Structure formats: C-alpha cells, structure tokens
Amino acid sequence: MTDTLILPSSVPQRPRRHRSATTEPVLIKALLIGLCLVLLTVLLFAPLIAVFDEALQRGWAFALQSLSDPDAQSAIRLTLLVAAITVPLNAAFGIAAAWAITKFDWRGKAWVITLIDLPFSVSPVVTGLLFVLLFGANSALGSWLVANGFPVVFAVPGIVLSTMFITFPFVARELIPVMMEQGRAEEEAALTLGASGWRTFLTVTLPNIRWALLYGVLLCNARAMGEFGAVAVVSGKIRGQTTTMPLMIEMFYNEYLSVAAFTMAGVLALLALVTLTLKSALEWRYADQLAATHRH
Amino acid sequence: MNIEIEAISKSFGTTAALHPVSLAIPSGTLVALLGPSGSGKTTLLRILGGLEFPTAGRVLFDRTDATGLTVQERRAGFVFQSYALFRHMTVFDNIAYGLRARPRKTRPPEAEIARRVHNLLELINLPDTGARYPSQLSGGQRQRVALARALAIEPRMLLLDEPFGALDAKVRKQLRQGLRDIHDATGLTTVFVTHDQEEAMELADLVVVMSMGRIEQVGKPEDIRARPKSEFVREFITA
C-alpha cells in the first residue's frame, strides 16, 4: 500500500480485474455452456417433446381413446404391478446387501460386490434367455412348475423375476459408496449407548442413507417400468396378459398405430417426469438436512 | 469400578494385534494407554468397550467376568476418535440418545431426559447449543458433545479413543483440563488412548506404555519418567 502512495500520480492506475483461479474467460464459458445446451436439447428435450407431439397429433381425445384399449390398460396395470413388487423387494435387498458389505468384514466380499454388478454387465436379452432356459418348459424345473400350475416363463412371475434381476444393482450401488464413506463409527457409538442392532439401524443407519436410498429407489423404479429386453424374451408378449408398457409400445409401433404407441410412450415418460419432480421437490424442501448429512 | 485384564490376546486373521496382556486398573483411576500406531492400544480399548472380542483371556469388572458381556451390557461411555456424533440429529438429541434407547421400564420420562441433557450441556460449558447440528460446531465443541453423550448413559467407565487427536494445540490443552475435571467430579474409571506422551504424562494417574501389541511398562508418570524399563520406553517418552 505504501509503495503505491509514493508512485507519481500522473500514472493512471487502472483497476485490474482479478479473476479467481477457478474461473474461465467469458468466451470459453459461453462456448462450453452453449455446447451443453445444444446437447441437452438434441438428446433430452427434443425427443421428449417429439413423443408428446406425436401422441397428440390427432388431438387429446384420440390419444386418450388409444389408452382405453383393453390391451393398453392391461399393459399399464401389469407395468405398475411389476414395479410395485420389484421396487420394494430390491430396496430391501439393496439395503441388506449394502449394509452387509459396508458394515462388516467377511470372506468373499469382493466376489459379492462383483455379483451385484453382474446385471449391469450382462445384456438384458441374455438375462431373459437365461430365465427361459432355467424355468422354461424344456427344463426339469420349468416342466415341474408348469405341471403344478405355476408357470414362470411366459407368465407374470417370469417378468417379475427378470425385472428384479435387471434392477437389483440400483439401490445397492447407490448405497454402498455413501455407507462406505460414513463408516461404522456412528453405529458403534449407538451400540455403546445401549441401542440394539435394530434400533441402531432404524435411528442411525437409515436416516443417514435416506437420500441415497431415495435416489436408488427412483432409478430402480424407472428401470423396472422401462425394462424391455429381458421382459421381451421371458414374457412371450401375450397381449393383454404378459405385455408390459414398453412391449406394448413396440407392438403398437410395429402395427403402424403411431398415436397409440406414442401416447403409451408419453404415459411412461410422464411417470418418469413425476418421479423426478417428486425428487426435486423433496430436495428443495429438505435442503438443510441434505447439507447437514453431507450428501451432495 | 475396577477393571482387570487377564492375559487378553487378539488376532485379526493371522496377524496378532495383542499378545497376551494383563493389567489391573483400580477404581477411579485415570489411565492412559500410550503407544505409537499399531501398538494395540485402540484394540485393547475396544475390547474393554465390547466392540471387539478377545481371541483369548478374560476381562473382569469389579471382579466379575465381563468377557462375554455385549457392548450394550457393558455400559461403557465411549468417545470415538472422530467423535461419531449422529450427524442427522441435534446436539440435544445426540446426548439424549442413550437415555431414549433404554427399555421402557428404565427409561426416564422426557422431562427428566431434558433436564439431564441440560445439566450435561452446562457441565461441558455449551449450554446454548442444544438445537444445533454437529456440522455447525467446531472440533473442540464436537469433542465435548461426544463426551456429554457418553456421560449421559451413567456409564460404569469412560473410554476415550484419541480424544484430542484432531484438535489444535491450544484447544487440546483446554480440553485436557476439562477431561481431568470431569473425571475428578464423576470419579469414573477412565481409560484413554493417546500417542502423545506429553498428554499421557500430564493427564493420567497411571500410564500404560504399549508397543507391538505388548505392554512395555505400567506406572505413574513420574516413575516411568524416572525409571523407564526398556530402551523403547526411554526413547518414546523423551521423543
């Protein structure tokens, strides 16, 4: 400061604009943001708008009428049923798997982590085929099941099983890094304070993972409703019986019923949008808690 | 409560964390388990608290075998190295946790819980922090809340794992005196783990120097300083 006072005042001191080290020049900022917007538009917004546009090209009444088709209704019901069974089960399994992996040490842990990732790396069509081979009428187990009046393949149980397989990693994968980072100390503290294992889980573990759990459940739900490949193989695509919404969309589309196909696709997209909105609303509502529990 | 450790050993897989160690802690003593990392001091503390179980040997509390007691049955007030405060609960709820976790028969009514929590907040000199979350506290404050939470369950003993490890030198000095005062006021048998010889010598009635899973020397600070039993002890306490 004293140095500048001694300087001759004839030298105009232009205030230099200081940029922080983590800020980019304006041109680069504009370029990157613009690129992102273009990509988002082309990849996300445009297709979404196109779906609704196609669905409504002959008006609301026509679109809604396509949904009143009994096959379409059965497809919606089946998809909701499958999601209603698989999501809670996979939430429970996911919590159990993440809990076992992150809070305990045991032999074969690495192997189980790999196993949890298996559905991500196997093509859904292969998954479907595996279930057909295992439970189909040509296998001993499958023919026994059919003979006892509980067919799995080309029936709802097969759809549920393959969807569960496909969506198994979502909750566990979301929880494991969070629980790993949080460590075991809080649980141990609860135990030393006299809490039972169950109480510790309910009052310490679960509140700490609830946001990760919510994300996992939402992802799991989205995939459960949208799964195509495995379900296509296992279900046999029997109209009105084993056809889920994604299968129904394909059928309508192949039959040149584009309004029906896109209306159904629109409903599926809406279900996804509703869950996303719900998530954002919760995040907004509980922003403080989120910050307090270090979940970014 | 007096604590006796009889030939306790602990191995994790093929590595031995504790060779058979024995130690008698008279009731009301403030004991430091002093040693470098990997000396087995934390393992020994966790065995006392019931968070680990020994491979062999016995632990006696007031001359009764406590080896098989679960962590809940031990009623040890445990202060963790990173404090392990429940991050989603307020300071008040953290301290009240142990009382609320009691079975209905022995659980105090909510008004009584509130009274005790406020007394503890007074004791740790943080009377107005009940509504805050742990993330809004400084390191030293968190440490004191962890201590209050451990005291709330009316523990039979106090176990602290590197209680001042993560704090700067000035706060550390203050809290040291704070722990001494609380120990003297409650008369609880207190065991704390540290790698800081100055801390152990200044604070403890009895210092247990450990190395490589063995107890090298047990004694009063001045005795250890005056007559170190081994080269290791001599080097460690002058470091």
Give all domains of chain B, ordered by start, each with its CATH number.
Answer: 1-75+156-239 (3.40.50.300), 86-154 (no CATH)
Residue B102 pLDDT level (bands cut at 50, 70, 90): very high
Asked whether residue A87 is domain-assigned, the answer is: yes
Burial of B102 (0-12, 13-18, 19+ CB in 10 A): middle
User: Using a CB-CB distance cutoff of 8 angstroms, which residues of chain B are in contact with residue A194?
Assistant: 72, 75, 98, 101-102, 153
Chain A: give the shortest CA distance to residue B127, in Å: 21
Reference A186, options B18, B52, B78, B19; nearest CA is: B78
DSSP state of A186: H
State yes or no: pLDDT of B22 exceeds 90: yes
DSSP 3-state assignment of B109?
A: coil
pLDDT digit string (tens) for chain A, length 296 residues: 444 445 455 555 555 666 677 777 888 999 999 999 999 999 989 999 999 999 998 888 988 898 899 999 999 999 999 999 999 999 999 999 999 999 888 889 999 999 999 998 999 999 999 999 999 888 888 888 888 888 888 999 999 999 999 999 999 999 999 999 988 999 999 999 999 999 999 999 999 999 899 989 998 999 999 999 999 999 988 898 999 999 999 999 999 998 999 999 999 999 888 888 888 888 888 876 666 655 43
Nearest C-alpha in A relative to B100: A195
- Asked if residue A15 belongs to a domain, the reply is no
Q: Are residues A38 and A64 in the same domain?
A: no
Together in a domain, A260 and A227: yes
**Listed range (A5-19, A58-72, B10-24, B205-219) with the worst mean pLDDT:** A5-19
- Specify whether A155 is located in the same domain as A275: yes
Q: Residue A268 falls within a domain, yes or no? A: yes
Give the structural domain span for A198: 60-292
Residue with tokens 């679109």: A63
Rounded to two decimals, the ipTM of the complex is: 0.93
Joined together, the tokens standing for residue A60 give 């609301």
In this structure, are A251 and A275 located in the same domain? yes
Examine the domain organization and report whether A112 and A47 are in the same domain: no
- In 3D space, the residue among A206, A226, A203, A209 whose CA is nearest the CA of residue A273 turns out to be A226
B72–A196 C-beta distance less than 8 A = yes
In total, how many domains does chain A have? 2
Examine the domain organization and report whether A196 and A223 are in the same domain.
yes
Asked, for residue A12, whether it belongs to a domain, the answer is: no
Domain co-membership, A130 together with A32: no
Q: What is the nearest CA distance from A215 to chain B, expressed in angstroms? A: 18
Whether A237 and A165 share a structural domain: yes
Tell whether A73 and A161 lie within a shared domain. Answer: yes
pLDDT of residue B232 exceeding 80: yes
**A70 and A35 share a domain?**
no
Contact between B62 and B18 under an 8 Å Cβ cutoff? The reply is no
Q: What is the CATH number of the domain that holds A250?
A: 1.10.3720.10
My answer on whether A34 and A168 are in the same domain is no
Sheet holding B206-211, edge to edge: B76-79, B157-161, B189-194, B30-34, B206-211, B214-219
Residue A162 lies in a domain: yes
The verdict on residue A66 lying in a domain is yes
List the one residue out of B153, B60, B89, B121 whose CA is nearest residue A195: B153
Q: Which amino acid is at A140?
A: A
Please report, for chain A, how many H helices and E strands are present, in that order.
16, 0
Is B133 within 8 Å of chain A by CB?
yes
Are both A174 and A241 inside the same structural domain?
yes
Structure tokens at B85: 């405060």
Look at B101 and A190 and tell me if their CB atoms are within 8 Å.
Answer: yes
Q: How far apart are CA A195 and CA B154, in angstroms?
A: 14
Instruction: Read off the DSSP letter of residue A243.
Output: -
Instruction: Identify the residue among A178, A186, A192 best suited for mutation to test binding to B, counting B beta carbons within 10 A and taking the highest.
Output: A192
